[in-house]
Amino acid sequence: MAGDTRENLSYDEKNRCEGSFFSMNAIIHGVVLAFGLILPLGAQNVFIFQQGAWQRHIWRALPAIISASVCDTLLIVLAVAGVSVIVQQLPVFETVMMAGGFLFLLYMGWVTWNSRPKTNQNEKHTFTAKKQAAFAAAVSLLNPHAILDTIGVIGTSSLQYSGLEKWLFMTACIAVSWIWFISLAIAGRLFQTIDTSGRLMLIVNKCSAVVMWAAAGYFGISLFSN
C-alpha cells in the first residue's frame, strides 16, 4: 500500500515536471519567434523610433507605442485563434492591403524625407497624439506581407500547443511586441539626446524615407505583377 502511494506521488511529480517543461518551452518558443518576426527593419519600427526621437518627452510617444502594440496584439490573437486559414483563402485581401500600403508608404516617405530635426524644444510637434496613433496603426496594418507572415507563422506555430501552453505561447509573443516598441522609442529618445545638433537625425530621416519608399516599391511591383 505504501509502495503504491509512493508510485502515485512519483507519477504526479513527473507529470508536474513535464507540464512545467512544456510551459517553459512554449514561452521560450514564443519569445524567440516573436523577436525573429519583429526585429527586421521596416516602416513600423522606423516610425516608432522616430517618434521616440521627435517627441520632447518619451511619454509623448506613448500613442504611437500603444497603437503599434495593440495592432500587433490583435494580429497575434487572430493568428492563434486560427484566422490565418480564412485570410489565406482570400486573395483579394492581400491585393487591397497592398494597394493601401503602397499609397500610404509613398506619402509617409515624403513626410519623413521633408521632416527636420527639432533643435528648439518649444517647437510644435509634427505628430499629435491622434496622428501618432493613426500613423502607427496604418504602418502596422497596411503591410500585407507582415500581416500574412505574422498570422501564418505564429498561427501555424501555435498549432502544436493546446490549453495553458497555447495561452503562454500567445502571451509571450504579445509581451515581446510591447517590450520591443517601448525599447525602440526609448532608443530613439536617447539617440536624439546624444545628437544635439540634429545632423545624425537628419540622416536617419533620409534613410528611413528610403526604407519606406523601397517597401512601397516592392508593394507596387507585387501589385502590378499580379
pLDDT tens digits along 146-172: 776 677 778 878 878 888 999 999 999
Q: What is the pLDDT of residues 107-143, one digit of tens each?
A: 878 877 887 665 544 444 468 899 999 999 988 888 7
Q: Is the pLDDT of residue 1 over 60?
A: no
Question: Which alpha helices (H) appear in the chain, and where do they start and end?
Answer: 2-38, 43-54, 62-80, 84-87, 91-114, 129-141, 144-149, 155-158, 164-194, 199-225
Q: Is the pLDDT of residue 212 over 60?
A: yes
Q: How confident is the model at residue 215 (pLDDT cuts 50, 70, 90)?
A: confident
Looking at residues 85-114, what average pLDDT do you find? 74
Backbone dihedral region for residue 130 (phi beyond 0: left; psi -120 to 50: alpha; all else: beta): alpha
Tell me what percent of the residues of the chain surpass a pLDDT of 70.
Answer: 76
Looking at residues 75-103, what average pLDDT do you find? 74
Q: Which residues lie closer than 8 Å to 225 by C-beta, 6 or more apart?
A: none
Q: What is the pLDDT of residues 6-29, one digit of tens each?
A: 555 454 554 555 546 568 999 999
pTM over 0.75: no
Q: What is the pLDDT of residues 42-81, one digit of tens each?
A: 788 888 998 998 888 889 999 999 999 999 999 999 888 8
Identity at 95, one-letter amino acid code: T
Tell me what percent of the residues of the chain surpass a pLDDT of 90.
Answer: 23
DSSP summary character for residue 142: S
User: Which pLDDT value is given to residue 117?
Assistant: 61
User: Which pLDDT value is given to residue 73?
Assistant: 94
User: Which pLDDT value is given to residue 145?
Assistant: 64
User: Which pLDDT value is given to residue 122?
Assistant: 41
